[in-house]
Amino acid sequence: MLSSISGNHAGTMSEVSLPNKRGDQDNGDGFPEGLSSASLRVVERFDVADFSAASGLLSDPLLLPTTRNVKELSADLSAKLAHLLSHAEMSAQPPIEFRVDGRTGSIRANSDFPEAQRIEELVNADPEVKRLFQTVNAISSHTWEIPKHLQFQREYLASDNPEQVVAKYSSLFGPQPGHDISMVFDGSAIRMLVDGRDWTQACFGR
Contact (CB, 8 A) for 13 and 142: yes
pLDDT of residue 160: 82
Please indicate, yes or no, if residue 154 is contained in any of the structural domains. Answer: no
Indicate whether 170 pLDDT > 50: yes
Burial of 43 (0-12, 13-18, 19+ CB in 10 A): exposed
Cβ atoms within 10 Å, residue 147: 11
Please indicate, yes or no, if residue 162 is contained in any of the structural domains. Answer: no
Contact (CB, 8 A) for 26 and 32: yes
For 59-73, how does the pLDDT look when each residue is reduced to its tens digit (9 = 90+)? 556 777 788 888 888
Please indicate, yes or no, if residue 117 is contained in any of the structural domains. Answer: yes
For 2-46, how does the pLDDT look when each residue is reduced to its tens digit (9 = 90+)? 444 443 333 333 333 333 333 444 443 333 444 444 444 445 666
**Structural domain for 70, as ranges:** 2-147+174-204
Prediction pTM value: 0.64
Confidence of residue 49 (pLDDT cuts 50, 70, 90): low
pLDDT of residue 120: 94
Mean pLDDT score of the chain: 72
Domain count, the chain: 1
Burial of 87 (0-12, 13-18, 19+ CB in 10 A): exposed
Please indicate, yes or no, if residue 168 is contained in any of the structural domains. Answer: no
Please indicate, yes or no, if residue 164 is contained in any of the structural domains. Answer: no
Q: How many whole angstroms separate alpha carbon 80 and alpha carbon 12?
A: 29
Q: Give the 3-state secondary structure of residue 151.
A: helix
Please indicate, yes or no, if residue 169 is contained in any of the structural domains. Answer: no
pLDDT of residue 6: 42
